[in-house]
Amino acid sequence: MDIATHVFSALYQFGDAFAFLVLSACGLAVIFGMMGVINLAHGEFIMCGAYVTAAAVHAGLPLPLGILAGTVVSALVGVLVELAVIRHLYDRPLDTIVATWGLSLIATQGTLIMVGSTMAGVGTPFGSFQVGDYSYSIYRLVLFCAALGVLAALYALFNWTRFGVLARATIQVPHMAAALGVDTRLIYSLTFACGAGLAGLAGGLYAPTMTLVPTMGATFIMEAFVTVVIGGADVFLGTAPAGGVLAVVKSVMTSWQGQLFGQIGLLVAVIIVVRVLPKGISGFVLRERT
Amino acid sequence: MTGLFSLFRRLEGPQTVGRGPRFWSLFAFVLAVALAYPLFSDGYTVGNTVYFLVWVFIALSLCVIWGYGGSLSFGQTAFFGIAGYGYGVLTLNFGSGYGFTLLALVIAVAIAALFAVLLGYFMFFGRIAGVFLGIVTLAVTLMLERFMAQTAGPEWHIGTARLNGFNGMSAMPPLTIPWPGEPIVLFADVGLYYFVLGLLVFVYLALRILMNSSFGNVIVAIRENPERAEMLGYDIRRYQLITFVVGAALAGLSGVLYTAWGQYITPSSMGMTAAALPLIWVAVGGRSDLTSTVVGTLVVLAAFQALTIYGSQYALVFMGVLLVLTVLIAPNGLVLGAMNWIGRLAARFTQRAG
């Protein structure tokens, strides 16, 4: 084995970890950045996306359309949740977290009752390729590209569209935006739906790689929390670099000591970072800039 | 002597609901019923009641940290688990002779408190508050669960105690009080009931005193407005850390008692669902008052168990709905709301009579 294959292996693991962190975190980060609220039902939106994707594929749709269906259904559920619960709690962020935890309990147990303890999965597409002595899954590369694509799409959405401008105005000074005629409630609803849809997309994309159980959201949620806490409130200045840094920590620790130590490494990193940079990477960058 | 007297005066005050002879005679009545209860019941039911009482400690811990201190910790079950495992490891290694189980209880609670000092230092001195505090504590809890769940292999042991991964540890000795002649073993029936009840009354009264003391007033001030409290010269980080450690110790006590009660502890006692339950009891009861928390916890637990018997799958869904509805409709808690309502009604009644 020469150095090139080692380098490729390290890069591949980094890319895999990066994609997982960014995809699972961006929905959470969008909602957090807009409303200052952590959606504890995030994992259940991911689960919803994965289940709908699997159901669509079983019904005969091709996988990309299935993933699209998962995304759309999650976003619609997000709209419903926002209308029924979140809307009434905007001035009480801590209570919002508690309420979303209640929703998460309902969703997990409700899925267990209605669908059963497991659902037939979807096969991983594309097969694998060989570098050196190891074979790698092509789908993991697709996921890495998807993560980059999601970041690019979010950048475009928030910078180049009318919705993006209004949303950023609402983030900065909600009252001022409202005074200037922005329907901030609508913006909040759309943002929540966007976050839920991104969670559904993550679920749909990862549906072919894992077993579908009602508690599968918990697999994502810790990584998502950690990335958002380290990243801070901004998706581009926070989530993306946090995903990069944490992916290094996770892939190094995982290849050194195994999966669990990868996660422990993440946790230690987050505790140290909150001590040093309480507002996360984006808070640090923004303070430097002003 | 006057010092002791002034300590007792702190039993009622601005931070706790319930005062005057009427409240305390009700308290004495409830205590008398609780003391007499095993006489009218069988050992199994009493043992089941102990299970309820054990959970009250973790609810009180969340009440102190969240309700009084204003820092939402999702990680109380982490301390529960650490102390539970600590008790298991200690007693499996050193046995139960010479009252060691009681010492193990103290050591296990101390380990949980020490862990809270470490975690709390990073959080409060990093000025983590609000949302992030909840997320970091929850992440720590989930991490501990995952760590304990993978300790199935024989290489995971502390001394002679195997950790046993997802199946958890079992067969640790119950609490034992050394006694001349024969030691008293507190199995999960009447003996343990009186032990836990005594502990609960002690903790409840001690917390009432603590919350009405100047310390309690300061942490409530920090909850209401951290900046103002800081301007008044209080080091809020230190107060928050102490509150967090007190809460962690209570959660740890809950964990030890649970482990000693069932002679059993598993990683899932730290999982997502387990972590949500104390939150539901405290939120439904009324987080900003000790009495409401105790009453709410017992009522919700009893309802949960009844539901589990009749429709086990739906019990958790119902708990989730209950939590969401409480937050939406009665954010201060149902029991606290009811108690305040009764208090107002009684006041109006006395006014009219007098």
Q: How many domains is chain B partitioned into structurally?
A: 1
CB A70 within 8 A of CB A50: yes
The answer as to whether B327 is a domain residue is no
Instruction: Give the structural domain span for B83.
Output: 10-269
Cross-chain residue pair B146–A38, CB shorter than 8 Å: no
Q: Identify which of A95-104, A264-273, B109-118, B185-194 has the greatest average pLDDT.
A: B109-118
Lowest mean pLDDT among A12-21, B183-192, B255-264, B338-347: B183-192
Nearest CA of chain B to the CA of A189: how many Å?
18
Q: Hey, CA dihedral for B144, B145, B146, B149, is it positive or negative?
A: positive
Which one of A271, A273, A277 makes the best mutation probe of the B interface by having the most chain B beta carbons within 10 Å? A271
Percent of chain B with pLDDT over 70: 98
* Angle B150-B152-B156 from CA coordinates, rounded to 5°: 95
pLDDT at B2 over 70: no
Structural tokens at position B97: 């002779």
Q: Is B161 helix (H, G, I), strand (E, B) or coil?
A: strand
Say what the pLDDT of residue B95 is. 75
Say what the pLDDT of residue A275 is. 73
Overall average pLDDT of the B310-329 stretch? 84
Structural tokens at position B327: 């937050």
Is B1 in the A-facing interface, judged by CB distances under 8 Å? no
Overall average pLDDT of the B86-99 stretch? 81
> How far is the C-alpha of A158 from the C-alpha of A235, rounded, in Å?
10
When CB atoms are compared, the residue of A102, A263, A274 closest to B132 is A274
DSSP secondary structure of B304-338 = HHHHHHHHHHHHHHHHHHHHHHHHHH-TT-HHHHH
Cross-chain residue pair A271–B321, CB shorter than 8 Å: no
CB B80 within 8 A of CB B251: yes
Count how many residues are written for chain B.
Answer: 354
Nearest CA of chain B to the CA of A229: how many Å?
7
When CB atoms are compared, the residue of A85, A94, A263 closest to B130 is A94
Higher pLDDT, B133 or B181: B133
Q: How many domains is chain A partitioned into structurally?
A: 1
Cross-chain residue pair B319–A105, CB shorter than 8 Å: yes
* Angle A85-A184-B227 from CA coordinates, rounded to 5°: 80
Lowest mean pLDDT among A142-151, B183-192, B193-202: B183-192
| Average pLDDT over all residues of chain B | 85
Q: Could you tell me which chain B residue has the CA closest to the CA of A90?
A: B328
Is B150 in the A-facing interface, judged by CB distances under 8 Å? yes
Is B122 in the A-facing interface, judged by CB distances under 8 Å? yes
Residue B315 — φ and ψ, nearest 5°?
A: -60, -45
Q: What is the pTM of this model?
A: 0.86
pLDDT at B9 over 80: no
> How far is the C-alpha of A86 from the C-alpha of A78, rounded, in Å?
10
H-run or E-run covering A261: helix A259-276
Overall average pLDDT of the B188-210 stretch? 88
Cross-chain residue pair B146–A271, CB shorter than 8 Å: no
Cross-chain residue pair A102–B324, CB shorter than 8 Å: yes
Cross-chain residue pair B134–A38, CB shorter than 8 Å: yes
When CB atoms are compared, the residue of A36, A88, A106 closest to B317 is A106
Is B283 in the A-facing interface, judged by CB distances under 8 Å? yes
Q: Provide, as residue numbers in chain A, all residues whose Cβ is less than 8 Å from the Cβ of B72.
A: 94, 97-98
Terminal C-alpha separation, chain A:
49
Which residues on neighbouring strands pair with residue B296, listed in sequence order?
A: none
pLDDT at B188 over 70: no
Q: Provide, as residue numbers in chain B, all residues whose Cβ is less than 8 Å from the Cβ of A272.
A: 122
**pLDDT, tens digit, 9 for 90 and up, residues B52-92:** 899 999 999 999 999 898 888 888 899 999 999 998 888 88
Nearest CA of chain B to the CA of A97: how many Å?
8
User: Domain with A133 in it: what CATH number?
Assistant: 1.10.3470
When CB atoms are compared, the residue of B72, B119, B128 closest to A97 is B72
Which one of A111, A112, A222, A266 makes the best mutation probe of the B interface by having the most chain B beta carbons within 10 Å? A222
Q: Kindly indicate the confidence band of residue B202, based on its pLDDT and cuts at 50, 70 and 90.
A: very high
Residue type, B94: F
Residue type, A186: L
**Residue A79: other Cβ atoms inside 10 A:** 15
Higher pLDDT, B1 or B15: B15
- The residue to which tokens 């004495």 are assigned: B28
Instruction: Give the structural domain span for A51.
Output: 3-289
Is B313 in the A-facing interface, judged by CB distances under 8 Å? yes
Say what the pLDDT of residue A287 is. 65
**pLDDT, tens digit, 9 for 90 and up, residues B208-264:** 999 988 899 999 999 888 889 889 989 988 999 999 999 999 999 999 999 988 888
Q: Provide, as residue numbers in chain B, all residues whose Cβ is less than 8 Å from the Cβ of A92.
A: 331
Say what the pLDDT of residue B351 is. 75
Q: Which residues contact B303 (CB under 8 A, 6 or more apart)?
A: none
Is B311 in the A-facing interface, judged by CB distances under 8 Å? no
Cross-chain residue pair B320–A37, CB shorter than 8 Å: no
> How far is the C-alpha of B275 from the C-alpha of B272, rounded, in Å?
5
Q: Kindly indicate the confidence band of residue B207, based on its pLDDT and cuts at 50, 70 and 90.
A: very high
Is B166 in the A-facing interface, judged by CB distances under 8 Å? no
CA atoms within 13 A on the CB side of A40: 29
Please list the ranges in chain A whose pLDDT falls under 70: 1, 233, 278-279, 286-290
Residue B332 — φ and ψ, nearest 5°?
A: -90, 0
CA distances to A29, A90, B133, B159 from B112, rounded to whole Å, are: 32, 35, 18, 19
Show the beta-strand stretches assigned E in B241-321: 264-265
- The residue to which tokens 């990680």 are assigned: B75
**pLDDT, tens digit, 9 for 90 and up, residues B17-29:** 777 788 888 889 9
Say what the pLDDT of residue B108 is. 92
- The residue to which tokens 């688990």 are assigned: B81
Say what the pLDDT of residue B63 is. 92
**pLDDT, tens digit, 9 for 90 and up, residues A85-133:** 888 888 787 888 888 988 998 988 888 888 877 777 777 777 777 777 7
CB B82 within 8 A of CB B144: yes
Show the beta-strand stretches assigned E in chain B: 157-158, 161-162, 169-170, 176-177, 184-185, 264-265
> How far is the C-alpha of A272 from the C-alpha of A260, rounded, in Å?
19
When CB atoms are compared, the residue of A109, A264, A272 closest to B317 is A109
Q: Is B73 helix (H, G, I), strand (E, B) or coil?
A: coil
Q: Provide, as residue numbers in chain B, all residues whose Cβ is less than 8 Å from the Cβ of A104.
A: 272, 276, 320
User: Domain with B214 in it: what CATH number?
Assistant: 1.10.3470
Residue B173 — φ and ψ, nearest 5°?
A: -70, 150
**Residue A162: other Cβ atoms inside 10 A:** 7
